[in-house]
A = this chain, B = another copy of it.
Amino acid sequence: MKVKERLFTPGPVPLPPEVIKALGQQIIHHRTPEFTKAFMEVREKLKRLLKTERAPVMFASSGTGSMEAAVTNFFRRGDRVLVINAGKFGQRWRDLAKTFELKVVDYEIEWGKTYDRERILEIIGEFPDIKGILVQHSETSTTTLHDVNYLAEVCKKLDDCILVVDGITSIGVYEVYPEEIGIDVLVTGSQKALMLPPGLSILWFSEKAEERLEKSDIGKYYFSVLSEVKKQEKGQTAYTPAINLILALNESLNLILEEGLPQLARRHEVMAKATREALKEIGLKLLSESPANSATGAYAPAGIDADEFRKVLLKLGFRVAGGQDHLKGKIFRIAHMGYFDVMDIVQVIAGVEFALEKIGYTVEIGKGVRKAQEIVLEYI
């Protein structure tokens, strides 16, 4: 059977036609008024996206580059930080912090769960010198949402603490307004809900975080925020920028802002809810106790290898992600962030039903799809 391939992985996600068109063009030079104009437009649109007057800086790197910049620019060697370590990307915060000689309070959490408020209070009681809390807003490896509002409150209770948030799979999915929430450093990457290829990362920081820039004693050059701020305010970059990704971002931000941020958040909420409820209706168990709206993880039925199930699903055209580390072969993850609509969800759920049936797990065909449709119907 000939099928179309459909990408439902949590990054990269499908590109809208407007982005593909912007990418497939002859290059322009970056030291030109034309590029500077586009760059400044992107800055303005990013400010609207984050509801702030402070423009973020951009780096030619994948999201991990901006995570590194968050660690190396806003701390000093030996600073103590609390890492909310609840998955693959929580581990990355921990590893980055250790690499650059921070003292890490590693709050390890079972994958699929979020932090416990009591435990957080115990930790800050024990370590009142914590200089930063590092967290994923949405932990992609476990499709889990961490409440960043509460962590912002906690941070404010401490003497000198900043809240550092990996928003790689939450920006463009939720309304993430760092000043309203109380986030000090917020990073994201291009290949998630911003609907671009990988290779561009974005870092926003608060006034409070800015005060730390001059004081930081950790070595950095390519990811020096100070070097970039000075240049990017004028529509240039310290080193050659990812020109075609910036031009494409100018297009994808149009799509995001034209839809409107509350509508965009609502669309993602509905897509996520429809996916979750449909999978439950089919009889599957969700991975996360605090599921995010960017992607949904679920366990394969007992006795079925999740990666085998994914192969069957791929034959039907649907590429979904598997589990990492100890979750490998146990779970699958369906992304629904960025260039997806509610009809995509109806379709992928139908695919999941078919694939389960094919692999020998009996399902009532159409049951999950109907559930997804019912939820979507309230929205359309």
**Residues 259-275 (chain A) with a chain B CB within 8 angstroms:** none
Flag whether A221 is at the interface (Cβ < 8 A).
yes
Which residues from B are CB-within-8-Å of A100? Answer: 219, 221
**Residues 171-219 (chain A) with a chain B CB within 8 angstroms:** 189, 191, 197-200, 218-219
Which residues from B are CB-within-8-Å of A222? Answer: 61, 64-65, 68, 223
Flag whether A375 is at the interface (Cβ < 8 A).
no
By beta carbon, the residue of chain B nearest A59 is B61
Flag whether A60 is at the interface (Cβ < 8 A).
yes
Flag whether A96 is at the interface (Cβ < 8 A).
yes
Q: Are A20 and B9 neighbours in the complex by a CB distance under 8 Å?
A: no
By beta carbon, the residue of chain B nearest A34 is B5
Q: Are B29 and A319 neighbours in the complex by a CB distance under 8 Å?
A: yes
Q: In the complex, what's the smallest C-beta–C-beta distance from A242 to chain B, in angstroms? A: 4
* Known contacts A12-B27, A29-B319, A197-B243; A219 and B221 CB within 8 A of each other: no
Flag whether A239 is at the interface (Cβ < 8 A).
yes
Flag whether A305 is at the interface (Cβ < 8 A).
no
**Residues 1-31 (chain A) with a chain B CB within 8 angstroms:** 7, 9, 11-15, 20-21, 23-31
Among A12, A26, A198, the most chain B Cβ lie within 10 Å of the Cβ of A198
Among A14, A28, A62, A100, the most chain B Cβ lie within 10 Å of the Cβ of A62
**Residues 25-46 (chain A) with a chain B CB within 8 angstroms:** 25-32
Residue in B7, B72, B244 whose beta carbon sits within 8 Å of that of A29 in the complex:
B7
Flag whether A157 is at the interface (Cβ < 8 A).
no
Which residues from B are CB-within-8-Å of A30? Answer: 12, 198
Residue in B14, B72, B101 whose beta carbon sits within 8 Å of that of A26 in the complex:
B14
Q: With A and B bound together, what is the CA distance between A9 and B34 in angstroms?
A: 15
Q: Are B65 and A245 neighbours in the complex by a CB distance under 8 Å?
A: no
Residue in B63, B223, B242 whose beta carbon sits within 8 Å of that of A198 in the complex:
B242
Among A20, A26, A101, A218, the most chain B Cβ lie within 10 Å of the Cβ of A26
Q: With A and B bound together, what is the CA distance between A15 and B244 in angstroms?
A: 12
Q: Are A221 and B20 neighbours in the complex by a CB distance under 8 Å?
A: no
Query: Can you identify 21 A-B contacts, CB atoms within 8 angstroms?
Result: A9-B29, A9-B31, A12-B28, A12-B240, A14-B26, A14-B27, A15-B26, A15-B27, A32-B319, A60-B62, A60-B65, A61-B61, A63-B240, A64-B222, A64-B239, A64-B240, A65-B239, A99-B220, A189-B240, A199-B245, A222-B223
Q: Which 3 A-B pairs have the closest CB atoms?
A: A24-B24, A199-B242, A62-B240
Q: Which residues of A contact B (CB under 8 A)?
A: 7, 9, 11-15, 20-21, 23-32, 60-65, 68, 72, 95-96, 99-101, 189, 191, 197-200, 218-223, 239-245, 319, 321
